[in-house]
A and B are shown apart, each in its own frame.
Chain A
Amino acid sequence: METMGFLMDGFAVALTPYNLMFALFGAFVGTLIGCLPGLGPANGVAILIPLAFTLGLPPETAMILLTSVYAGAMYGGRISSILLNIPGDEPAMMTCLDGYPMAQQGRAADALAISAIASFAGSLIGTIGLIILAPVLARFALTFGPVEYFALFLLAFATLGGITGKNPMKTVIAAALGIMISTVGIDISTGTQRYTAGVLELYEGIDFILAIVGLFAISELLFFVEARMGKGRSKVKVGKLTLSFKEIVSTIPTQLRGGVLGFIAGVLPGAGASLGSFISYTLEKSVIGKKGRFGEGDIRGVVAPEAGNNGAASGALVPMLTLGVPGSGTTAVLLAMLISLNITPGPLMFTQNADIVWGVIAALLMGNVLLLVLNIPMIGVFVRLLSVPPMYLLPIVTMVAFVGIYSISHSTFDLYFMIVFGVGGFVLRKLEIPMVPIILGLLLGPEMEKNLGHALILSDGDWMTLWSSPLAIGLWLVAGLGLVLPTLVGPLLRRRMRSAIKEGPVSD
């Protein structure tokens, strides 16, 4: 019952008019970001970080804003899936399967409405799961020493590529690059200058916020320029809402199954929202069997993946909040915000910054209600915004990102750096080097080094200490599996996902 008390305190934080306003703003902007093809949740949150930072928002408000954007983006992803047959973000691609056929049959409004309800259900289940699981995991994580943390960080990197990841070696390379960038600057424990080449701006290290914005926002712009997709695509008209109450009730079991499965997929390292929606869809298909018309516009084919990916979105917050180890791109970006706010992520956050943690969780619940309310009557607004072609939108978004970065430090040096990261990110993405491990490396690098140092000091320089506790060995084993499994299972899963969808994901 202790949890309930904390949750009530959380609501007290989230329900202040000031925070509520930012939650509403975040939910709206997030939905917008989610529904625009090419702007995924990680991207959207990354662009808003500098803004939250320069506005001087108090930590809990900043986190509430960004979590609302995150939740909103998960809602928004479905809009372009249904209307354009292009997923707004990767997790929304399963929604295309039945969402677009429904829209073609003139039931676009129904598909949008039922998917909003499914998103709500999935998110609600995921958040309840988060409330139950997070404190337990945080308490367990308190027993972790530096050795276990070091192994845990490795596990995070190893599983980041996900079971569906292509070449695990590229994940390793990306992670190494990210950690390398994080070592630039003055070493915290000894004061040695590392890789600064005497440049004053580098003494404090490379700010990961500008690296993130460069890697995501600028490289995305360059991808659009290259693909010449500026004009956008034609979309299906939204008709009248004909959804009956009976139909909504009939999908409740699907929503429950999807939400729970999604949540589990979200919590597990290396699975994430995309797999969450895929598993929910596949399971639903086999449960309903021949009675359904999956792939031709079955309403349950829209409900299952949406409940799944929103459940997974909340689930992914569990490792981020309790261990300080994010399992996905977007939660990595949220972690970046936490670190810039000088909050040490991890189990101690639940005791030291209880107001923030529970404020965020309460905001997630609130945000979901807001999103449901926003998404049903205001769907027309989002649909109209969807017809703004990217050729106007992306340059504006990029410039806002520039301004955000500029307003943090008022130095153009940072802007050049950001462009370098953007161009580098474009080249690396072309070569299929994933971006997320780079970012995670930037964020976790210093922590990893610190824990390695502590572990070795405690053991008097004996490296065997890294394998000394059963828990650490377990973590190392899972990390190893995380690298090996994709080469074995990956091709199989990828083939099944591909045969299910013709159009590949636009970005992560």
Chain B
Amino acid sequence: MTGMGDRILGLCLLVVAVAYGWVAQQWPEPFGGAEGVGPETFPTILAAVLVVGSLYLMIKPDADAKWPVGKPALELAISIVVLVVYALLLEPLGFIVSTTLAIGVLSWRMGAALGQAFLTGLISAVVVFGLFNYGLSLSLPNGLLGGF
């Protein structure tokens, strides 16, 4: 069946819309009573709009996009993992080390030679760190290189 992507998206959005609208009905009435518009009025309208939109998507989906499978999908997963790990390690390892690693891995996976990728990472990490810490006096985490 064509248009699976849109149909699945429509289904997910329908769930989101219903949940969003339902939650809005649970809020206690604000102190002093509602005057025409309560906190739930606007979200309720939005939920209705999204319900209509998601139903439309399921009934009249567009042609499917080309989804990455195999190697490109793996590369994508790697990139996302790199970003998450970067956010995780930024404070413990410090800016220079973690940025060198992140840029290195990303450039390498995008097709650069291994050595060049990490060299680029190191140079840009040091330059950005210097610029931020000394030029703009915004402190980035030092981490391992404590006294740098």
Q: Do A and B bind each other?
A: yes
**A residues engaging B (CB < 8 A)?**
54-55, 166-167, 169-170, 172-173, 176-177, 179-180, 183, 187, 189-192, 194-195, 218, 221-222, 224-226, 228, 230-231, 389-392, 394-396, 398-400, 402-403, 406-407, 412, 415-416, 419, 422-423, 430-433, 448-449, 452-453, 456-457, 459-461
* Residue from B13, B54, B76 within 8 A of A225 (CB atoms): B76
- Given A403-B128, A407-B140: A176 touches B46 (CB 8 Å cut-off): yes
* Given known A-B contacts A54-B138, A228-B72, A403-B132, A432 and B95 have beta carbons under 8 A apart: no
Those of B24-81 within 8 Å (CB) of chain A: 24, 27-28, 30-31, 35-39, 41-43, 46, 49-50, 53-54, 56-57, 60, 62, 65, 67-68, 72, 75-76, 79-80
Residue numbers in A under 8 Å from B102 (CB-CB): 395, 399
Instruction: Given A166-B62, A225-B110, output 4 extra A-B contacts at Cβ < 8 Å.
Output: A54-B138, A190-B31, A192-B39, A396-B120
Verify B95–A403 contact, CB threshold 8 A: yes
Counting chain A CB atoms within 10 Å of each CB, the highest count among B60, B76, B90, B107 belongs to B107
Q: Is B124 an interface residue (CB 8 A)?
A: yes
Using Cβ atoms and an 8 Å threshold, which residues of chain A touch B90? Answer: 402, 406, 412, 415
Determine if A402 and B86 form an interchain contact, defined as CB atoms under 8 angstroms apart: yes
Contact assessment for A177 and B50 in the assembled complex, using a CB-CB cutoff below 8 Å: yes
Which residues of B are found within 8 Å of A407, using beta-carbon distances? Answer: 132, 138, 140
B23 contacts chain A at the CB level, 8 A cutoff: yes
Query: With A and B bound together, what is the CA distance between A412 and B90 in angstroms?
Result: 8
Are A419 and B87 in contact (CB-based, < 8 A)? yes
B49→A395 contact, CB < 8 A: no
**Residue numbers in B under 8 Å from A391 (CB-CB):** 107, 110-112, 117
Residues in chain B within 8 A of chain A (CB atoms): 5-6, 9, 13, 20, 23-24, 27-28, 30-31, 35-39, 41-43, 46, 49-50, 53-54, 56-57, 60, 62, 65, 67-68, 72, 75-76, 79-80, 83-84, 86-88, 90-91, 95, 99, 102-103, 106-107, 109-112, 117, 120-121, 124-125, 128, 132, 136, 138, 140
Q: Is the CB of A173 within 8 A of B13?
A: yes
Chain A residues within 8 Å of B99, by CB: 399, 403
Q: Which residues of B contact A230 (CB under 8 A)?
A: 107, 110-112
Residues in B with CB closer than 8 Å to A416 are 84, 87
User: Which residues in B have their C-beta under 8 angstroms from that of A461?
Assistant: 35-37
* Interface of B, helix, strand, loop or mixed by DSSP: helix
Contacting pair A222 B80 (CB below 8 A): yes
Partner among B27, B87, B109, B125 whose Cβ is within 8 Å of the Cβ of A415: B87
Give the interface SS of chain A, mostly helix, strand, loop or mixed: helix
When chains A and B are docked, how far (Å) is the Cα of A412 from the Cα of B30? 34
Inter-chain contacts of A167 with B (CB < 8 A): 62
A462, B29: Cα distance in complex, Å: 20
- In the complex, which residues of chain A have a beta carbon less than 8 angstroms from the beta carbon of B54? 173
Known A-B contacts A403-B95, A412-B90; the reply to A222 vs B76 at CB < 8 A is: yes
Q: Smallest distance from the beta carbon of B56 to chain A beta carbons, Å?
A: 5
Contacts of A395 in B (CB 8 A): 102-103, 106-107, 110, 121
How many whole Å from A464's CB to the nearest CB in chain B? 13
- 22 A-B Cβ contacts within 8 A? A54-B138, A169-B53, A176-B49, A189-B39, A222-B76, A222-B80, A225-B72, A226-B68, A231-B111, A392-B112, A399-B102, A399-B125, A402-B83, A403-B95, A406-B140, A407-B140, A415-B90, A431-B6, A431-B9, A448-B42, A453-B41, A460-B36
In Å, the complex CA distance between A416 and B23 comes to: 25
Q: Bound state CA distance, A387 and B84, in angstroms?
A: 30
- In the assembled complex, the Cα of A221 lies from the Cα of B46 at a distance in Å of 31
- A275 CA / B69 CA spacing, docked (Å): 35
With both beta carbons as reference points, the residue of chain B lying nearest to A413 in the complex is identified as B87
| A18 to B: closest C-beta gap in Å | 15
* B residues less than 8 Å from A191 (CB atoms): 30
Residue in chain A with minimal CB distance to B111: A230
CB distance from B148 to the nearest CB of A (A): 16
The interface residues of chain B lying within 8 Å CB-to-CB of A192 are 27-28, 30, 39
A453 touches B36 (CB 8 A): yes
Residues in B with CB closer than 8 Å to A54 are: 136, 138
- A173-B13, A173-B50 given as contacts; is B76 within 8 A of A226 (CB)? yes
Assess whether B53 is in contact with A176, with CB atoms less than 8 Å apart: yes
> Which residues does chain B contribute within 8 Å of A415, judged by CB atoms?
86-87, 90
Taking a contact as CB atoms under 8 Å apart, the answer to whether A226 and B30 are in contact is no
Contact of B46 among A179, A389, A392, A460 (CB under 8 A): A179
